[in-house]
């Protein structure tokens, strides 16, 4: 986009963006700043399978009142068109068209409540009725509401675990799952034809409430959700009897009330909440990156653990669909001073939950016939070992929980949804049961605490349980490196890196001295055996990702994030000891770093 077009677009916003004082001030502030104008106006936030996500601010490449309105108008047009086609009005023009319904939730992020009301106003302006939570709620409770209230779609205003400057907009289908690429493409095509300032239908929020086009979701929906969560317990007596002590941090997000409520319901009441991170605050003042994957976000929780000495630290992200944990580690376990708390990775917690659920469902006679567990392609291959041990079929999908829950949707079509045992991904997302179609930190928190209580009743700590798992299956070391690329130049650089990695003359034949055995390019859909030269098709949808399969079972996966301006590199290494597996990982990471300089 040339400077003339950029400046014209900038002036158009200056003339028309009058509804939010913050936008007016920002547009004035960047006047004459070419780089700032470029970053905000060089592209539009695109409506994709993750909805919208971007920095809060002025311009089409930002999350703001106008971009939310445009996305919602596109979604409303799509919903109404689909209902017209499905209705008998297509055959008989005298048949009235039944109204559509959309559920809306939001989290603690800056302007989340404002954007949720903005979306409701647009839906109401298009004759679509809105069911809206009165206060911030976790993502899984939005998914549940869509299904429970039989809505046509759902919207959750959240940017999940991104830094405070971000917000986002997740769109869900009638099945409670995030929309797929076909729907996203259709909505994007509609949005492309809309005038962002003059092409939007809207009705004032208070007027929409009076007319019944917007209504608040009743408490019975949340109660029904909690009932379904508790049905996933296997040994509820363990939680009642163990006297488990927990430190919990919702990281200033939506998890505070729901997680404490569900733990209280199952008998875990000795809960100390990190005070600085207890209440909703979209500025995340004590954890600039509110992601339980990173130790920095858990520092205050770990500090409190030193005082309280709990059995477990739980941390949920701002929209409460991911959960991280830390557990006590004595000197005998390798703790530095005999009073440490160590973080478990998403892979470790996920596999331990799988083994606990599978083993104990067999023991209690509640294992379904032909059980299925689902994981993403970047999740540890230890999952397959556990699946073989307990007769659980492991299905691998592309990254994104919508793909994991898509397997459940397919099972449901044939009445086989009871086969679904559990699903998880390495990035701290887990779900058990079919009542929601997204990852759920509320049920995961409950099951993690139950698992800890159960092992405690057997005289086993979670550290010991993890050691027992590695002794049984071998030590799998799984980790991820993130390489950030901000702004317009960053997106271009990411494209060049991925193009270079998949070019036959560039991709490595050895990484850290370990021979590359296979190269899989998920964009072309082909897997190459480097020894024989044979190519085979990859039986998964095409996506921008490459995988290097190494001699000895290690893998290196490289893919751009679907929600952030970064490239992620995932490593899986296998060793006889944790140190051996970690040494291999460090060598691989050092070698791969050169591609991202």
Output the DSSP codes for 434-471. Answer: SS-SS--HHHHHHHHHHHHHHHHHTT--HHHHHHHHHH
State the distance between the two ends of the chain, measured CA to CA, in whole angstroms. Answer: 27
Length in residues, the chain: 597
Specify which residues 573 forms β-bridges with. Answer: 477
CA distances from 475 to 516, 543, 581 (A): 21, 30, 7
Give the C-alpha separation, 220 to 134, whole Å.
13
Encode burial over 67-88: b for 16+ CB neighbours within 10 A, e otherwise. Answer: bbbbbbbbbbbbbbebbeeeee
E strand spans, 93-226: 101-106, 129-132, 153-157, 166-173, 214-216
Give the C-alpha separation, 480 to 557, whole Å.
9
Which residue among 116, 160, 238, 479 is the active-site one?
A: 160
Give the C-alpha separation, 195 to 21, whole Å.
21
The yes-or-no answer on residue 376 being catalytic is no
Among residues 160, 438, 170, the alpha carbon closest in space to that of 282 is found at 160
- Distant-in-sequence, close-in-space partners of 503: CB < 8 Å, separation ≥ 6: none
Among residues 20, 51, 54, 21, the alpha carbon closest in space to that of 40 is found at 54
Active site residues: 160
């Amino acid at each position: 986009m040339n400077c003339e077009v950029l400046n014209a677009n900038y002036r158009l916003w200056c003339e028309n963006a009058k509804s939010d004082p913050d936008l007016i001030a920002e547009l004035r502030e960047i006047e004459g700043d070419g780089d700032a104008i470029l970053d905000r106006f060089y592209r539009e936030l695109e409506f994709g399978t993750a909805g919208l996500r971007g920095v809060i601010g002025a311009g089409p490449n930002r999350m703001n009142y106008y971009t939310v309105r445009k996305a919602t108008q596109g979604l409303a047009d799509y919903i109404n068109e689909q209902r017209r086609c499905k209705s008998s009005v297509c055959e008989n023009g005298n048949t009235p068209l039944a109204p559509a319904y959309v559920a809306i939730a939001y989290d603690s992020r800056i302007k989340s409540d404002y954007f949720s009301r903005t979306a409701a106003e647009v839906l109401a302006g298009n004759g679509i009725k809105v069911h809206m939570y009165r206060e911030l709620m976790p993502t899984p409770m939005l998914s549940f509401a869509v299904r429970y209230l039989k809505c046509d779609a759902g919207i959750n205003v959240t940017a999940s675990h991104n830094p405070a400057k971000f917000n986002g907009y997740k769109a869900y289908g009638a099945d409670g799952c995030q929309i797929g690429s076909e729907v996203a493409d259709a909505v994007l095509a509609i949005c492309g034809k809309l005038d962002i300032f003059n092409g939007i239908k809207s009705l004032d929020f208070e007027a929409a409430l009076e007319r019944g086009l917007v209504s608040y979701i009743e408490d019975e929906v949340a109660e029904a959700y909690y009932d379904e969560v508790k049905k996933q317990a296997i040994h509820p007596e363990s939680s009642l009897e163990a006297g488990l002590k927990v430190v919990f941090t919702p990281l200033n997000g939506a998890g505070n009330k729901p997680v404490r409520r569900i733990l209280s319901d199952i008998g875990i009441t000795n809960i100390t909440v990190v005070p600085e991170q207890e209440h909703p605050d979209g500025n995340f003042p004590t954890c600039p990156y509110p992601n339980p994957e990173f130790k920095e976000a858990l520092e205050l929780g770990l500090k409190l653990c030193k005082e309280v000495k709990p059995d477990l630290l739980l941390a949920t992200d701002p929209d409460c669909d991911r959960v991280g944990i830390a557990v006590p580690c004595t000197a005998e376990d390798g703790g530095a001073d005999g009073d440490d708390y160590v973080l478990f990775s998403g892979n470790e917690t996920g596999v331990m939950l799988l083994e606990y659920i599978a083993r104990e469902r067999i023991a209690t006679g509640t294992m379904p016939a032909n059980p299925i567990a689902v994981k993403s392609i970047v999740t540890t291959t230890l999952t397959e070992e556990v699946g073989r041990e307990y007769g659980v079929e492991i299905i691998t999908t592309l990254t994104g929980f919508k793909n994991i829950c898509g397997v459940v949707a397919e099972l449901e079509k044939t009445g086989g949804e009871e086969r679904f045992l559990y699903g998880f991904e390495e990035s701290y997302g887990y779900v058990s049961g079919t009542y929601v179609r997204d990852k759920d930190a509320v049920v995961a928190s409950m099951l993690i605490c139950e698992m800890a209580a159960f092992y405690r009743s057997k005289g086993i700590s979670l550290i010991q349980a993890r050691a027992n798992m590695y002794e049984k299956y071998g030590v799998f070391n799984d980790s991820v490196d993130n390489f950030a690329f901000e702004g317009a130049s960053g997106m271009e650089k990411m494209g060049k890196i991925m193009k270079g990695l998949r070019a036959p003359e560039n991709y490595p034949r050895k990484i850290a001295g370990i021979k590359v055995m296979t190269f899989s390019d998920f964009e072309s859909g082909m897997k190459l055996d480097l020894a024989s030269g044979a190519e085979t098709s990859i039986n998964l949808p095409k996506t921008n990702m490459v995988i290097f399969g190494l001699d000895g079972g290690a893998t290196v996966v490289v893919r751009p994030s679907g929600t952030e301006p970064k490239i992620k590199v995932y490593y899986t290494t296998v060793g006889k000891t944790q140190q051996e597996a970690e040494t291999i990982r460090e060598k691989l990471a050092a070698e791969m770093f050169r591609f991202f300089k």
